[in-house]
Amino acid sequence: MYNPHSYAVTIEMMLHCSLGSADEIEKNPLVFLKSFLDKVYDDDATKAKLIDCFDKRYAKYMNTHLRDWSEDDTKQMVHDLREIYSR
């Protein structure tokens, strides 16, 4: 069964956010992630390309609670974030 909060916790840990951030991530993940991705975007041209693809792929979920995402897209989003932050 799809548990959006567990994905939000995974993102919280990946970004080294304060405890409790998972609730905010779950409410509106793309808005929450924007400041993190903007910082990476400005610091690394290679990652900027990945972030451009990320933004295009998930634009349909802008201002959408994580419970309203498909589980497959949520899994892929977490995978994409790992790729952005691992390089």
Q: How far apart are CA 66 and CA 64, in angstroms?
A: 6
pLDDT tens string 34-56 = 999 999 999 999 999 999 999 99
Write down the pTM of the prediction.
0.91
CA distances from 72 to 39, 46, 87 (A): 27, 25, 23
Q: Inform me whether the pLDDT recorded for 81 exceeds 80.
A: yes
Q: Inform me whether the pLDDT recorded for 1 exceeds 80.
A: yes
